[in-house]
């Protein structure tokens, strides 16, 4: 299926040897074929999955990214995009002038009971202020509204420090014996 795309794209790539010529002798591996990387890169572009999702024993995610960057520097990656879109347009029919894409999550203006609550709304609004530990304070503007001042930590309103029991005095029920 990708053979015609590969033929067009391979014609754009400069010729390369099987080994990287910048490495000294004896400490380099064979270069992974451009065709393998091309097929993996098409999977990433087509399915929108991460590079780790398509990497396997034939080609690592790092190799896919490195080759992509190399092809971008050579200027052939933009041409690959154009070739792929033209092929898709011939096979399926793609009119990008009529496509509108929006990736925002917002509350529906009509909303209603059918829409349900927003999945990102944790319902922490003004009505939740001061409801912890059973303390409720009126909110909003006006006299006597808002959060009351905090009591000082020392002075006549402070609590005496809490005394902990020694560990030996704690009551503990012995485990039951099973028969």
pLDDT digits (tens, 9 = 90+) for 31-75: 888 999 999 988 888 788 899 999 999 999 999 999 999 999 999
Decide which of 29 and 156 is more confident: 29
Confidence (pLDDT) at 135: 52
Listed residue (91, 77, 74) closest to 37, CA to CA: 77
Confidence (pLDDT) at 176: 76
pLDDT digits (tens, 9 = 90+) for 79-127: 887 887 788 778 877 666 777 776 766 665 666 666 666 667 666 665 5
What are the domain boundaries of the chain? 3-97
- Is the pLDDT confidence value at 149 over 70? no
- Is the pLDDT confidence value at 137 over 70? no
Decide which of 66 and 134 is more confident: 66
- Is the pLDDT confidence value at 146 over 80? no
- Is the pLDDT confidence value at 171 over 80? no
Structure tokens at 41: 């890169």
Instruction: Classify burial at 96, counting beta carbons within 10 Å of its beta carbon; exposed 0-12, middle 13-18, buried 19 or more.
Output: exposed
Decide which of 130 and 101 is more confident: 101
Confidence (pLDDT) at 66: 92
Burial 138-177 (b: 16+ CB within 10 A, else e): eeeeeeeeeeeeeeeeeeeeeeeeeeeeeeeeeeeeeeee
């Amino acid at each position: 299926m990708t053979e015609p795309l590969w033929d067009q794209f391979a014609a754009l790539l400069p010729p390369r040897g099987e080994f990287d010529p910048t490495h000294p002798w004896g400490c380099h591996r064979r270069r992974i074929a451009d065709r393998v990387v091309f097929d993996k890169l098409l999977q990433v572009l087509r399915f929108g999955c991460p590079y780790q999702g398509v990497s396997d024993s034939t080609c690592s995610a790092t190799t896919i990214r490195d080759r992509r960057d190399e092809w971008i520097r050579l200027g052939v990656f933009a041409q690959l995009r154009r070739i792929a879109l033209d092929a898709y347009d011939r096979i399926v029919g793609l009119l990008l002038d009529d496509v509108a894409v929006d990736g925002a999550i917002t509350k529906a203006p009509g909303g209603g009971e059918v829409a349900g609550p927003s999945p990102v709304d944790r319902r922490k609004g003004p009505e939740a202020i001061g409801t912890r530990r059973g303390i409720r304070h009126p909110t909003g503007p006006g006299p006597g509204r808002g959060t009351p001042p905090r009591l000082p930590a020392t002075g006549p309103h402070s609590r005496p420090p809490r005394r902990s029991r020694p560990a030996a005095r704690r009551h503990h029920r012995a485990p039951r014996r099973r028969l």
